Amino acid sequence: MFSKTPQPDSHPDPRAAPTCPPGFPPGFLWGAATSAYQIEGSPLADGAGASIWHRFSHAPGTIANGETGDVACDHYRRFPDDVRLMRGLGLRAYRFSVNWGRVLPEGRGRLNRKGLAFYERLVDRLLDHGIAPVVTLYHWDLPVALDERGGWANRDVAHWFADYACLLYRSLGDRVELWITLNEPWVVMQGGYIAGTLAPGRRDLAEGARVSQNLLLAHGQAVRAYRAEGRHAIGIAVNLEPKYPASGSRADREATVRADAYMNRQFLDPIFRGEHPAEIREMFGAAWPEFSDEDIALARSPIDFLGVNYYTRGLTRHDPAVKPHRARNISEAARRTTEMGWEVCPEGLIDILEWVKARYGNPPIFITENGAAFPDPLPCQGIVDDPLRVAYLCDHLRAAHTALARGVDLRGYFAWSLLDNFEWAEGYSKRFGLVSVDRETQARIPKASARFYTEVIDTHGACLLDR
Ligand code: FCB
């Protein structure tokens, strides 16, 4: 928790950081990120098993405008062109996720060779173009067959996940050097099992508590399996928000501590410190099952790096109606918000990175997602001018640079997202891409923000200091 709430005009100017050398270090990894369900399309092609997102998006009333990922960016069929596009943008790395059910249609057991071959070809193509593949094993698309056995609420999921992970380590491990077990376990639990706004759409606090624990066990099993099978690096990607109290009242300050425990510490404390925050037990109450010493030891399996997804801060207000943490985010009138309604707060990135450094012993960090949805103008003569996204990226990259200069072990940055894509419950209405995608023709047009990012990469960030 952060006791001092930054004001829009009072935060330190990242450019003024005293020890800031110009630019990012050589070897800093510059990339962009996507996930399978959001871009691939062809969800059932070549023998793939359906995922919970396929089922959820086809249920009435779940997604804005009734949209689905059936076509998305048609990346499953267009990936060679997309890799060429990435090369043209100068990306050094590409973070994507594997759709579990393409590879194992029932989630376990029988292998679907054609599904695996897709990811093998993608990895090979990336390497041919000098782009490092970064693989996320799970970005929210659980096979329906496993959900029918209880999904993340069934403790066996840890073994199912580790077996699936092993298959990928063995198939791609000679070519992939960076692995991410789970994307945003907090969102999987909160959106999928408590709020029910994301697949599988359940609303059950006790189930959410079990899911929280099983996600940790699955992560730990996959890390352990990697130690036996893998030779490079593995980590996890979490969504973090520095939490600030909305007022000086005791209720808001206590709510801020709970919100911080719930979102920021729920998974990282067990992983790095071998214990759950006390607030988690308090807020779930009787719904929180015992977590044994063996479970904790598994969750604590050492990781090589932490992935941080950062979009906004959390200005926190006490709200007893919000279960289980009795707190909600509000936004300040003076702040710009993105189209998602999220406050733009680049200095929050410095705070959260410094917090990770201090609390968890300065682990190597990649910013595995950062970006913004704004209403883009229609392409005009092949140009999409998106100055708000350029400003967002510029300010956050400066913040990342400041964190680096203050001793955070930051190793790379991945913009979310390469392409305009299927933004979960928002459908295609929210566009995060550096590259615009025409929904009718699938034509890709790099936006001004893509050109800007290319310049950042080419100059190792030195151009940020001149803007
Ligand atoms: C993150 C998700 C990612 C994308 C961005 C906007 O929570 O990991 O898939 O939807 O938000």
pLDDT digits (tens, 9 = 90+) for 291-341: 999 999 999 999 999 999 999 999 999 999 999 999 999 999 899 999 999
The pLDDT value given to residue 159: 98
Res. 20 pLDDT band, cuts 50 70 90: very low
- Ligand 1 neighbourhood includes 370 CB (under 6 angstroms): no
pLDDT digits (tens, 9 = 90+) for 170-187: 999 999 999 999 999 999
Residue 171, domain member (yes or no): yes
pLDDT digits (tens, 9 = 90+) for 342-378: 999 999 999 999 999 999 999 999 999 999 999 999 9
- Ligand 1 neighbourhood includes 424 CB (under 6 angstroms): yes
Measure the CA–CA gap between 107 and 436, rounded to whole angstroms: 33
**Which of 369, 370, 396 to probe ligand 1 with, by most ligand atoms within 8 A of CB?**
369
Measure the CA–CA gap between 325 and 256, rounded to whole angstroms: 9
Find the 422 Cα to ligand 1 centroid distance in Å. Answer: 10
The pLDDT value given to residue 2: 59
Residue 12, domain member (yes or no): no
Residue 5, domain member (yes or no): no
The pLDDT value given to residue 132: 98
Between strands 132-138 and 444-446, the pairing is: unpaired
Instruction: Assess contact for 465 and 22: CB atoms under 8 A.
Output: yes
Contacts of 61 (CB under 8 A, 6+ apart): none
Active-site residue set:
184, 369
The pLDDT value given to residue 1: 55
Res. 8 pLDDT band, cuts 50 70 90: very low
- Ligand 1 neighbourhood includes 312 CB (under 6 angstroms): no
pLDDT (average), residues 414-424: 99
Q: Which atom of ligand 1 is nearest to the CA of 184?
A: 8
Residue nearest to atom 10 of ligand 1 (CA): 423
Can you give the residue range of the structural domain that contains 417?
A: 29-466
- Ligand 1 neighbourhood includes 432 CB (under 6 angstroms): yes
- Ligand 1 neighbourhood includes 354 CB (under 6 angstroms): no
- Ligand 1 neighbourhood includes 239 CB (under 6 angstroms): yes
Count of Cβ atoms closer than 10 Å to residue 376 Cβ: 19
pLDDT digits (tens, 9 = 90+) for 273-285: 999 999 999 999 9
Residue 302, domain member (yes or no): yes
Total count of domains within the chain:
1
CATH number at 189 reads 3.20.20.80
Q: Which atom of ligand 1 is nearest to the CA of 239?
A: 7
Contacts of 37 (CB under 8 A, 6+ apart): 43, 51, 53, 54, 69, 72, 99, 139, 140, 141, 422
**Which of 424, 428, 432 to probe ligand 1 with, by most ligand atoms within 8 A of CB?**
424
Residue 9, domain member (yes or no): no
pLDDT (average), residues 387-395: 98
Residue 2, domain member (yes or no): no
Residue 17, domain member (yes or no): no
- Ligand 1 neighbourhood includes 309 CB (under 6 angstroms): yes
Residue 16, domain member (yes or no): no
Q: Which atom of ligand 1 is nearest to the CA of 371?
A: 6
**For 216, which DSSP code?**
H
Count of Cβ atoms closer than 10 Å to residue 173 Cβ: 17
**Which of 338, 423, 431 to probe ligand 1 with, by most ligand atoms within 8 A of CB?**
423
pLDDT digits (tens, 9 = 90+) for 440-467: 999 999 999 999 999 999 999 999 987 7
